[in-house]
């Protein structure tokens, strides 16, 4: 088909095209005039990913943030947030909405599957909510479509507040469960620590091995003190009623004074040293001239070194028991610190959601859009008219030119008689 044939057909069937175009255009005008207006209001929130999470005490990682923000947007569009909106606005107490819900419940065949009124309203509200991530930021835009500008703005702000309330409630519930679990674990851990501590004390008393605060046993500490001290010089004197063990008593007094600072006056090591001093002080006094002085410094060091070597296996076992106690204590302190942080979060309103722009009543509706509808209806009517004209033409073909005659018959054309010219007056 040539362009000339196509134009002839359109001109011949122009009334079909005209009627179709006008009918569709009139339908578009009716849609613009009578379809209810829909308004959309938008509110914004920002997720502060740098703020520690109340459950894991850490911020959201950058890798997880890529899925965290879209998942929160999906949660905003869920029926749970919608049900919270209905609750906050008192929609469940509205008589008209209650009547609609009763009709809905009565129409359901399976009464056990009928949702509550809050869930039913929440699903309806969620159908009008659109939440999306703004560009590649941590901002979420919450849009609500309503029948009036004020209704759209009110509901958008209500959805934003409901999202915050639901998030706080969920985090508090999770923190409460975590605190209860930590309490049970800490109670069990405390019992284990007490048993380990008692086992360590019993082992030290039974074997005469005592560990100081730094993890060093008392015998090794005494050996180090003797090695660093100056040798005691032996002196000779005449009998005058003095105690020949005065040097050892003085050394024990100095050791008791030093060890008491770390161990306390009632520690078994201190009590043993005091018993040694009492035994030396109550020793009988010799008669006649004597030399006052104790064992040599090297003798004391050698004796103490032998004692350390003899207790080496026992000291190793005591250190192992002490390590068990320290590990249990560290675990208990970590759990106690985590529990305190969780309890603080349970009573806090500070969560990783920041309120940004509140929704305001929009000035123009988002639907229907008059210009788009009118242009679309006109174009659709024109296209439908052209297609209808072509269909009618092919069903009822007519010869409108030489090209039509040549295409429809095999008869050769001898000549063409042009139409007579129109006389100009």
Tokens of 254: 């100095």
Q: Is residue 191 part of a domain?
A: no
What pLDDT score does 257 carry? 76
CB burial of residue 152 (10 Å; 0-12, 13-18, 19+): buried
What pLDDT score does 239 carry? 47
Q: Is residue 136 part of a domain?
A: no
- The C-alpha atoms of residue 273 and residue 253 are separated, in whole angstroms, by 9
Q: CA dist 207 to 158, 217, 221, 317, 363, Å?
A: 72, 12, 17, 11, 88
More confident residue, 1 or 75: 75
What pLDDT score does 199 carry? 86
C-alpha triplet 188, 190, 196: angle, nearest 5°: 105
More confident residue, 203 or 414: 203
Q: Residue 34, Cβ neighbours under 10 Å: how many?
A: 8
In this predicted model, what pLDDT tens digit does every residue of 105-150 receive, in sequence order?
998 888 888 899 999 999 999 999 999 999 888 899 999 999 999 9
In this predicted model, what pLDDT tens digit does every residue of 303-320 receive, in sequence order?
656 666 667 777 788 788
- The C-alpha atoms of residue 145 and residue 37 are separated, in whole angstroms, by 10
What pLDDT score does 323 carry? 87
| Same domain (yes/no): 301, 385 | no
What pLDDT score does 240 carry? 47
Q: Is residue 377 part of a domain?
A: yes
What pLDDT score does 424 carry? 55
- The C-alpha atoms of residue 201 and residue 193 are separated, in whole angstroms, by 12
Q: Is 39 left (phi over 0), alpha (psi -120 to 50) or beta?
A: beta
Q: What's the mean pLDDT in 14-29?
A: 94
Q: Is residue 25 part of a domain?
A: yes
C-alpha triplet 210, 211, 215: angle, nearest 5°: 165
**Is the pLDDT confidence value at 7 over 80?**
yes
Tokens of 226: 């003797």
First to last CA, the chain: 37
Q: Which of 310, 336, 351 is the last residue of a domain?
A: 310
Q: How far is CA 341 from the centre of its chain?
A: 15
In this predicted model, what pLDDT tens digit does every residue of 233-271 receive, in sequence order?
544 444 445 555 566 677 777 777 776 766 667 766 677
Q: Is residue 417 part of a domain?
A: no
Coil vs helix vs strand at 236: strand
| Same domain (yes/no): 215, 304 | yes
Q: Is residue 235 part of a domain?
A: yes
Runs of H (alpha helix) within 89-217: 95-107, 117-126, 149-207
| Same domain (yes/no): 299, 384 | no
Q: Which residue has the tokens 């350390």?
A: 308
Q: Which of 80-94, 205-219, 387-401 has the lowest mean pLDDT?
A: 205-219
Q: How far is CA 83 from the centre of its chain?
A: 22
| Same domain (yes/no): 374, 300 | no
What pLDDT score does 396 carry? 80
More confident residue, 383 or 224: 383
What pLDDT score does 236 carry? 47
Q: Is residue 243 part of a domain?
A: yes
pLDDT averaged over every residue in the chain:
80
Q: Which of 267, 288, 310 is the last residue of a domain?
A: 310
Expressed as residue numbers, the domain containing 24 is 3-35+368-408
Q: Residue 119, Cβ neighbours under 10 Å: how many?
A: 15
Q: Is residue 55 part of a domain?
A: no
- Overall domain count for the chain: 2
Which residues fall within 8 angstroms of residue 69, CB to CB, at 6 or more apart? Answer: 47, 133, 138, 140
In this predicted model, what pLDDT tens digit does every residue of 213-235 receive, in sequence order?
656 666 666 656 666 665 555 44
What pLDDT score does 235 carry? 47
- The C-alpha atoms of residue 45 and residue 311 are separated, in whole angstroms, by 67
What pLDDT score does 319 carry? 80
- The C-alpha atoms of residue 70 and residue 45 are separated, in whole angstroms, by 13
């Amino acid at each position: 088909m040539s362009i000339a044939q196509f134009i002839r057909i359109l001109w011949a069937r122009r009334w079909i095209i005209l009627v179709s175009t006008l009918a569709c255009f009139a339908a578009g005008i009716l849609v613009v005039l009578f379809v209810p207006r829909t308004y959309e209001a938008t509110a914004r929130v920002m997720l502060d990913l740098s703020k520690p999470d109340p459950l894991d005490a850490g911020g959201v990682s950058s890798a997880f943030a890529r899925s965290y923000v879209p998942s929160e947007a999906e949660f905003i569009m869920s029926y749970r947030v919608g049900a919270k909106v209905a609750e906050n606005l008192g929609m469940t107490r509205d008589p008209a909405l209650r009547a609609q819900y009763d009709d809905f419940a009565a129409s359901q065949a399976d009464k056990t599957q009928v949702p509550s009124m809050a869930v039913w309203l929440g699903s309806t509200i969620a159908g009008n909510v659109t939440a999306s991530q703004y560009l590649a930021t941590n901002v979420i835009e919450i849009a609500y479509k309503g029948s009036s500008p004020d209704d759209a703005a009110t509901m958008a702000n209500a959805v934003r507040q409901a999202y915050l309330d639901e998030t706080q409630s969920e985090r508090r519930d999770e923190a409460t469960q975590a605190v209860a679990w930590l309490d049970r674990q800490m109670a069990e851990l405390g019992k284990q620590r007490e048993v380990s501590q008692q086992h360590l004390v019993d082992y030290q008393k039974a074997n005469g091995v005592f560990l100081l605060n730094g993890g060093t046993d008392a015998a090794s500490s005494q050996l180090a003190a003797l090695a660093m001290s100056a040798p005691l010089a032996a002196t000779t004197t005449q009998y005058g009623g003095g105690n020949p063990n005065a040097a050892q008593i003085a050394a024990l007094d100095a050791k008791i004074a030093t060890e008491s600072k770390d161990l306390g006056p009632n520690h078994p090591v201190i009590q043993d040293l005091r018993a040694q001093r009492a035994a030396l002080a109550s020793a009988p006094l010799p008669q006649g001239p004597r030399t006052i002085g104790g064992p040599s410094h090297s003798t004391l060091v050698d004796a103490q070194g032998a004692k350390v070597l003899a207790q080496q296996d026992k000291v190793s076992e005591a250190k192992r028991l002490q390590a068990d106690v320290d590990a249990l204590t560290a675990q208990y302190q970590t759990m106690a610190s985590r529990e305190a942080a969780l309890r603080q979060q349970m009573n806090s309103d500070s969560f990783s959601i920041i309120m940004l722009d509140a929704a305001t009543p929009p000035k123009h509706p988002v639907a229907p859009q008059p210009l788009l509808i009118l242009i679309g209806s006109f174009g659709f009517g024109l296209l439908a008219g052209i297609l209808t004209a072509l269909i009618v033409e092919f069903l009822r073909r007519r010869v409108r030119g030489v090209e039509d005659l040549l295409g429809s018959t095999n008869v050769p054309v001898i000549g063409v008689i042009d139409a007579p010219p129109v006389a100009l007056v």
